[in-house]
Structure 1
Amino acid sequence: MAIVEYQGSCKFEKIPHGNSTRTSVPYVRTDPAILKEAARITKEKHQKPLKTSHQMMLDDSINAPNAKQIRDKFLCHLNSKLGYPSKLKIGSDEEKAIKNAINQAFDDPNHVLCTKHLKDNVRRYLKDKEGCGAKERELIVRSIFGYDGLLNSDDSFSFESKFSDMDSIISKFPNFHKYFENRLKPLLLNHVFKPLQDGTVKELWTNNNSESMNNRLKESIDWKPHKLPDLISKINEVSAFQFNDLRRSIHGSGNYILEDTFKNHHVSPDKWVKMSQTEKRRRTWKLLSQKPRDPEKKNYIKSTNCSFQVPPTAKIAQKPNQRKRPRAERVRR
């Protein structure tokens, strides 16, 4: 019965598991192509299906799942770990496959697009498909992404007004005009302008930090494909460098400096050298586990039933060995 159930085309819809009566957590079915690939390998190598299953899990050279399946599975797993949130803020470039995967995995996400990628795509389109000169290219880019450009309009009426003013500039390039009308304008309106207007983001968003880390990872593997275990090892090495740099901030010899609210974790370099590895790890995890303090938050004095609270008063000077408060201070309180 399970074999019949897995036949046909795979639909990546989140539905409750049919064999479970106690849970309604959504999941994604396995693609039939994976089972077909497993059956082919089992038949060719004359081995048990369990051994084939282990091979497909450990050896990523057996390309049973494609990139779409891996991406969908990862995002659904991430959604479950986050507790199936609604209107989660997610940023990416304008790749159609990523947009579809995000909309499929998450419930009504606030999807924001990277304006750096949008700028680069506009420049590339004008240069490669229209033969547009550098001066005109930058003029169009400024009219869209500039300080007084389309995306920095005060409201939707101003957005449409500036778009009408741009028509005289982009009408010289018919292919780009069509591309702008059919593809670029809806993306800018729904995933850049509206998030700015409703306060999802406070400025034009870019994923430059992610791109720099992406470049770091590609350099670590010499820009060549690697098997999954090797890739995990490389990611662990890169993250270990960042972790060690964070640990150096404790004794003041790294690229990071402890903030004022974390100064209590500071240790002198001489003392740090004499510490054992266990003590160093304990100090590091103590730093990582501390939550940032809110400067506006005060430790209010609450009543017994928590129905009334007052802000704490400033402490007054106290002489050495003084046990009693001054009379004026007692009266004031």
Structure 2
Amino acid sequence: MALAFPRAARLTCTRHLKQNFSHTLADKVGLPSQERQRFITQIFGYNGIIAHGTDHMDIAYRLQHMAESTENRFVQKLIELMSPLLVENAKGLERPGLHLASPIWTNNNCESLNHCLKQALSWRSLKLVETPQHHQDSTQGSATSDLWCGRVRPLEEYQRFGEPKDV
């Protein structure tokens, strides 16, 4: 993805980040359950840093402050390692025209977008033997290649999300 779309926002599933953080605190750092839950709630909770950060810079500041005020060096290092992912998510969700009800991105968001796309295209799964014929039928008469190097443009309302091609 990074090679194909170098300037695209890449979002990481918040739910998985939370689970990874929790497992690392339990299995590698060895924090007791109550202390572990306190850190998780501070970052990922309903009133946590992610839910109430005003923008990516605010989230970065809050995470840095949390790391600096933590006495446990292992937890401090873990927060520092996770901060770039959380800040990158916040930057991606600040993208103009992207209106989400929540500052939390999960893989379910991707599945929902994928479902909408499939519905719009009347997509259906094909048997393996039907696939080559379907591909030939759908590309016949097209002046573009499979690499999308032709004059293909998205609809006007989606052009603001486009990324220039780097050659």
Into which bin does the TM-score normalised by the smaller protein fall? Answer: 0.5 to 0.7
Name which of 32, 40, 58 aligns with 1:158.
Answer: 58
For normalisation by structure 1, the TM-score amounts to: 0.29
Find runs of 4+ consecutive structure 1 residues off by over 4 angstroms: none
Asked if the contact 2:67/2:79 (under 8 Å) is kept, the reply is: no
Unaligned runs of 5+ in 1: 1-101, 212-234, 238-333
Q: Structure 1 residue 171: deviation in Å?
A: 2.9
Work out which structure has the larger RCO, using CA pairs closer than 8 Å and 6 or more positions apart in sequence: 2
Q: Structure 1 residue 125: deviation in Å?
A: 0.4
- Identical pairs, percent: 31
Q: Structure 1 residue 168: deviation in Å?
A: 6.2
- One-letter identity of the residue aligned with 1:123: S
Q: Distance in 1 between matches of 2:14 and 2:57?
A: 22
Name which of 18, 38, 41 aligns with 1:139.
Answer: 38
Q: Structure 1 residue 205: deviation in Å?
A: 1.0
Q: Structure 1 residue 187: deviation in Å?
A: 1.0
- One-letter identity of the residue aligned with 1:194: K
Tell me: CA distance 1:123–1:142, structure 2 relative to 1, closer, same or farther (3 Å): same
Unaligned runs of 5+ in 2: 112-124, 128-167
- One-letter identity of the residue aligned with 1:148: N
Aligned match of 1:281:
none
What count of residue pairs does the alignment treat as equivalent?
110
Name which of 149, 152, 156 aligns with 2:48.
Answer: 149
Aligned match of 2:84:
186
Q: Structure 1 residue 158: deviation in Å?
A: 3.3
RMSD between superposed Cα atoms in Å? 2.9
Name which of 104, 107, 122 aligns with 1:207.
Answer: 107
Aligned match of 2:15:
116
Tell me: CA distance 1:126–1:170, structure 2 relative to 1, closer, same or farther (3 Å): farther
SS of residue in 2 equivalent to 1:104 = coil
Tell me: CA distance 1:236–1:133, structure 2 relative to 1, closer, same or farther (3 Å): farther
- One-letter identity of the residue aligned with 1:110: A
For normalisation by structure 2, the TM-score amounts to: 0.54
SS of residue in 1 equivalent to 2:31 = coil
Asked if the contact 2:63/2:79 (under 8 Å) is kept, the reply is: no
Asked if the contact 1:125/1:176 (under 8 Å) is kept, the reply is: no
Asked if the contact 2:67/2:75 (under 8 Å) is kept, the reply is: no
Higher strand share: 1
Tell me: CA distance 1:156–1:116, structure 2 relative to 1, closer, same or farther (3 Å): closer
Q: Distance in 1 between matches of 2:83 and 2:26?
A: 19
Q: Distance in 2 between matches of 1:205 and 1:107?
A: 20
